[in-house]
Amino acid sequence: MAVPGAAAVPLLLLGAVTAAAGCGYQSCPATRPDLLNVHLVPHTHDDVGWLKTVEQYFYGVRNEVQHAGVQYILDSVVAQLVADPSRRFIYAEVAFLARWWRQQDEAMRRTVRQLVEQGRLEFVGGGWCMSDEAAAHYSPAIEQLALGRRFLRREFGACGTPRVAWQIDPFGHSRQLAAIFAQMGYDGLFVGRVDHQDKATREELREMELLWRASGNLPPPAADLFTGILPNVYNPPSGFCWDQLCSDPPVVDEDSEENNVDSIVSSFLQIAASQAERYRTNHIIMTMGSDFHYENANLWFKNMDKLIAHVNARQANGSRVHVLYSTPSCYLWELYQANLSWSLKTDDFFPYADGPHQFWTGYFTSRPAFKRYERLSNNFLQICSQLEALAGPAAREGPYGPGNSSVLREAVAVAQHHDAVTGTEKQHVADDYARQLAVGWESCQLLVANALASLSGSKENFIFCNALNISVCPLTEAAGRFTVILYNPLGRRVSWPIRLPVNGTSYAVTDPEGQSVPSEVIPISNFTHRLRGDGGSATRELLFQASVPPLGFSTFAVSRLSRGDPRAHPARAPALSQPREIQNEHVRVLFDPLTGHLKEIQNLDKSISLPVFQSFYWYNASVGNDESSQASGAYIFRPNSSEPIPVSGSKRVSAHLVKNALVQEVHQNFSSWCSQVVRLHAGQPYVELEWTVGPIPVADGWGKEIISRFETTLQTNARFYTDSNGRQILERRRDYRPTWNLSQTEPVAGNYYPVNSRIFIKDKKFQLTVLTDRSQGGSSIFDGSLELMVHRRLLYDDNRGVGEPLVELGASKQGLVVRGRHLVLLDTVESAADQHRPLAQELFMAPYVVLAPGGGPSYRRGQPGLRQFSALRHELPPNVHLLTLTPWDAVETRTDAGTLLLRLEHQFERGESANGSQPVTVDLLNLFSAFTVTSVQEMSLGADLPLGDVSRLVWSPDTGPAKPRPGPRLDPSQVTLQPMEIRTFLATVQYQVAGTGPRGP
């Protein structure tokens, strides 16, 4: 669809080009070295979903909820840029831009490309969305940035590549994401929200602009990122908002009694002078726009044109202020030219508070079911992408229909948005994010089925049971025989517990070689019965341990045994006595026989033990009080007391034991809405806590925030440790911030931090680590303790714009029930990382079960069936993780060669493990068996630029300059990874069988 009038636009543009030649820094407007230069940056902040869904925002539907229509914003801005060559505009959200681009005819596309090539339309950020920084895991955060950057590179060439990261709305900023921006080649980052105390201190010290050293592992300046804090979050200065959504007076400069030029110019000069006092150079930046502004861009540009003319006219009378249209990169370039050294920051910007009782730490946990679904969806996307790469074109065009990974890729990218995975959107928008993911799963399931058929040589009726977490799967519940295919996306062999809903009492399981695999059948727990309702009919669960090779699959045959079969086990009833302990070869867990609570964990391999008490509590959500009217809500956590209330009304929790050769479990019931299974699988060196919480009762009129708390005897000295986006570990200190003197006003909420994958406490000898299966808020409120918030249900809105309380009713409409897992590790401080690093990867890149009735026909006549497959010739070293394996040219797929995107990462930090933290070398040419690698090119982290083409501005910290080091010459047979390094490659590969992918090792 073409925009009306588009055909006339290019003629106007061609006659009006007087802007500086080229894009990038050379296209920047002239400034005045002797004056204060005010860079006006016209922008719109277009949330990829928040109060309306992505589509509602794009098309301008449901304007009664919020007046916003992104398609009209882009139409209007382009027309206004064409009208005057001095005007500039920046745009960030590629999810909207890509959709708008599809609507445009070739004439309009040419016009927009010209604007980009002149540097007048500049892309900033450049991700599919502006991602969250607290709840987003580094893997999908990298993917969504790469997805957006690839679109910009493809459609606009080098001029479309963003130089500046633009994180103006996320609620706090993470060290790992800053490191990612640096490694993608960004020259700087601009942020809008920093803690009000931090900002006040920085304004006083004129440290609103700084150099962020975002990694202690990569040699500087590899992860150094210049960071600017904007003066007014991302809004225009007060009195200068000229959008149709604003009510500030326009500039009236004609002969009229409404003429207001003097007052507007005087007010502007005052604001500029005041802002200049808080920044270091004779350049300041003003963001001219806000949420969904510029639907009628003429209003903004007409008034800014007048403002610029009248302010600059005052120079004739001695004014020292020069105003100009600019962009963040042109502003950044002027700061770089100033040749100053900048204060160095090494921590992060969490937690964020915009007032003394307003800590934005609730969203670390808000919408916990969606947070888990987002994490699972990225897990499945990686599996889908890997299988697409391993099977080649056969995955996309196969017997099950056309497979497509891009639908899920875009849905997972959208889910990283700072009002998506955060849980800070309206309920109907959260439902829509989940719907987008579900549609993506369906198209990826077709692709997975095609790929598995091609690789295994067997066209099975593949079945995907998406509700195994509540023991629902019609095939396994009814069938006497079935096949279990387990795919492992990790680069090392994994032993994985399989748990399937069944109705038989005994089963025979055989592995890919036909050998018998030990199995057990146990009753389904009451917790699961209650959770699933009438969703499934299984009364029992079949358990067995499945071994699966790296980057491959194993196929297991399962058959139900008749009662008289000599292999059948007699069914055992669970022991109902108060259990005292469970143990396997690595771990023993002791329980208090009087209360039923966990009381001690022992690591049998190291002969160490630690008293650990664990229970569930709830913080009473504040509704506001005399100190502040602030209520707890989707964004903000504010308990009305620092003391949480135990979930269990009595000191004793009822508990019973399930024990067999494969698993030992203690089932604890804390209340009618809170239960937990403490589980030890055979061979597993950690304790698994599977918690089920909800519906949270609110009939008493109180919102509740539920935590799982661990109390130990460790002397922790107010310190605890949390991860940054699932990667680097940061030390946290209670009631303390590294860069300013904190005045603590919320002793609980002000000490909460995002926990993406793990939190731990330690003393000089021992470390207790808890791994999470989704993002949660966590803390150590008193020494020796740590806690994680698992669920929250609130009755009041917290007045940050979403306009509804976080009450999530769930499928039953009675309140959301959430189930999740915490994995608990006790180890020595020296060895802890050797356990938690690979285990965390196993949680976010978990093996995936596909089922089939079995007995399907051959995929290709004469092709033997393959019951086990690995795409690797050998396992990756334990400190290397295969982060990405995905086709790069999925559109051009008609050949037997293809290009694959490959990311390998070192998953340890410096100094955290004697062996794990050493550099490690991998031979790329002999790594894969599924295809032959014929050539390799090293790319930037975003994969849109060859690594050799990345050149970044080098900034000087006040601690002394760091010189960039040239990277090693690429030898694909010897790729060395240093601690925390991610290396990105495009590999040209030849598949073994033309156009069909491999047949196995």
Catalytic residues: 169
Q: Which two tokens stand for residue 496?
A: 């994985």
Asked if residues 337 and 749 have their Cβ atoms less than 8 Å apart, the reply is: no
Per-residue tokens: 95: 């999810």
Cα(27)–Cα(370) distance, integer angstroms:
43
Closest CA to 365 of 837, 823, 759: 759
How far from 510 is each of 346, 501, 551, 615, CA to CA, in Å? 53, 18, 21, 40
Q: How far apart are CA 349 and CA 196, in angstroms?
A: 11
CA distance 553 to 546: 10
Could you tell me which residues come within 8 angstroms of residue 447 by beta carbon, excluding any fewer than 6 positions away? 384, 387, 388, 395, 396, 403, 404, 405
Burial class of residue 963 in the structure, from the number of CB atoms within 10 Å of its CB (0-12 exposed, 13-18 middle, 19+ buried): exposed
Query: Residue 358: which of 85, 171, 182, 607 has the closest Cα?
Result: 171
Burial class (CB in 10 A: 0-12, 13-18, 19+), 836: buried
Element of type H or E holding 902? strand 897-906
Query: Which residue type is seen at 76?
Result: S
Give the integer Cα–Cα distance in Å for 754 and 778: 6
Judge whether 96 and 382 are in contact, CB under 8 Å.
Answer: no
- Tokens in use for 895? 């050949």
How many residues does this entry show for the chain? 1001
The 8 Å CB, 24+ separation contacts for 98-103 are 98/151, 99/58, 99/71, 100/58, 100/70, 100/71, 100/74, 101/155, 103/1, 103/2, 103/3, 103/71
Give the separation between CA 502 and CA 571, rounded to whole angstroms.
Answer: 13
Query: Do residues 236 and 289 lie in contact, with contact meaning Cβ atoms separated by under 8 Å?
Result: yes
In angstroms, the CA 1001 to CA 868 distance is 9
Integer Cα distance of 191 and 418 in angstroms = 13
Strands (E), 815-879: 818-828, 848-852, 868-870
Query: What DSSP character marks residue 928?
Result: B
Q: By three-state DSSP, how is residue 263 classified?
A: helix
In the chain the first and final C-alpha atoms are separated, in Å, by 49
- Euclidean distance between CA atoms 869 and 880, whole angstroms: 21
Beta strands 344-345; 209-213: pairing state: parallel
Strand 89-91 to 121-123 pairing? parallel
Strand order in the sheet with 654-659: 654-659, 663-671, 674-681, 687-693, 818-828, 766-772, 758-762, 719-724, 728-733
What's the CA gap between 563 and 29, in Å, rounded? 85
Ramachandran angles phi, psi of 644, nearest 5° = -75, 160
Question: Which DSSP string do the residues of 953-970 spell out, in sequence order?
Answer: --PEETT---PPPPPPPP
Structure tokens, 378: 């990225």
How many whole angstroms separate alpha carbon 948 and alpha carbon 967?
Answer: 9
